[in-house]
Amino acid sequence: MSYVAISAKFTSDVRNKLRAMRQREAQQVPSLDYKLSSSRTDLINWAWGTHLHLKDQMPPNWCGKADNIQMRFEVAERGPVRIRAELTPPLITPPGGVPSGVFMISADDPEIKPYVDREQAIYEIAQRWDKVDKQIMEFLGKCKSVNEAIKLWPQIEMYLPSEYVMRVNEKKERNASAPSQAAEALKNLDTDHLTTAAVISRMTGQG
C-alpha cells in the first residue's frame, strides 16, 4: 500500500494548485485598456472646479495636460474599485493640473460598462475560489491521509497535484482504518459548487 500523509508539503502543494487554478481562470477574463473621453462635461468640471469660468480665457500655454487620472466606481457586492484611466485625447487642465483626489463615476455610466463587467467577473471568480479553498482545506484537515480523502470523496482528485494521486493509486488500500472526522466533514462540503469550479477550471485549459 502506498500511504500518503497529509504533510505540510502536501498542504502547501494543494494550496499552490488551487491558486494556479484560480489565476488561470481569472486570466481568461479579457483584459481592457481603461480609457475615458476627455470631453466629458463632468470630468472637465471636476478638473477645473471653481476655476471653470476661466477655462476659455486661459492662454493655452498656461494650461496643463493630463494623460490619465484615477477614477473610482462601485461594483455590486465588491464595493469601490480604483482604476487608472487613460484620457483620450489628453485633458486640458488648469495650470496646477487635475485635483489630487479621485474622479468619481457611476457604475451605470455607459462609457465604463465594460470595465464594471470585467471587475465584477474577476470578483465572482475570486469569491468562488475563496469558497473552494476554504472547503477543500478544511476537508483535508479532517482526513488521516490523502488515501482517506480520495476514498471518501474521489472527485477531490481534481484539486490534488497529480503526483500525490499517482502515489495513492499505485496500490489499493488493504487495511480498513477507523473512521475519522473526515466522513463527518464531507457532509459539510458543497460538492456541487466544488465540482463546478473544477469543471470551469478545466474548460479554461487547466490540468
Question: What is the pLDDT, as a whole number, of residue 173?
Answer: 46
- Its pTM stands at 0.73
Structural domain includes residue 1:
no
Mean pLDDT within 79-100? 92
Structural domain includes residue 104:
yes
User: Which residues partner with 65 through β-bridges?
Assistant: 92
Mean pLDDT within 156-167? 94
Contact 103, 41 (CB under 8 A): no
**Cell numbers placing 154:** 474521489
pLDDT tens digits, 118-150: 999 999 999 999 999 999 999 999 999 999 999
**Cell numbers placing 19:** 491558486
Mean pLDDT within 107-127? 94
CB-based contacts of 4: which residues, under 8 Å, 6+ apart?
10, 145, 146, 147, 164, 167, 168
Last residue of a domain, one of 85, 111, 137: 111
Structural domain includes residue 3:
no
Q: 100: domain range?
A: 35-111
Question: What is the pLDDT, as a whole number, of residue 190?
Answer: 64
Q: How many domains does the chain have?
A: 2
pLDDT tens digits, 51-61: 999 999 989 89
Do 43 and 104 belong together in one domain? yes
Do 59 and 86 belong together in one domain? yes
